Amino acid sequence: MARITVEREHSLGKAGARAKADTLAQKLKDKYGVESSWSGDTLNLKRSGVEGTVQVFDDSLRIDVKLGLLMSAMSGTLKSEIEKALDKALA
């Protein structure tokens, strides 16, 4: 099982960052069928072979993703895509 962790600082405040996380979660649902739910300031993400969280802080976001066996082979590509999507969302 592979793990991906990506952290980015932001100046959006917690509410702004939560809104960006919601937008990103909707895109993931539309494109990949990823389900999401909030638990406090943590957005939980789940799909077959992928499980993760987006933790929202006042000045940063942290994404942790666990990949199942089949998805592990694509971990480098997925990390790149996560970084690109997060940078775009926070821009």
Domain ranges across the chain: 2-90
CA 90/CA 73 separation, integer angstroms = 28
| Confidence (pLDDT) at 43 | 97
| Confidence (pLDDT) at 40 | 96
Asked if 82 and 28 count as a contact pair (C-beta separation under 8 A), the reply is no
Fold of 2-90: TATA-Binding Protein (3.30.310)
Indicate the SS3 state at residue 87.
helix
CA 48/CA 40 separation, integer angstroms = 24
Written as tens digits, the pLDDT of the chain (91 aa) is 899 999 999 999 999 999 999 998 898 889 889 999 999 999 999 999 999 999 999 999 999 999 998 888 888 988 998 899 888 888 7
Q: 36 - beta bridge partners?
A: 45
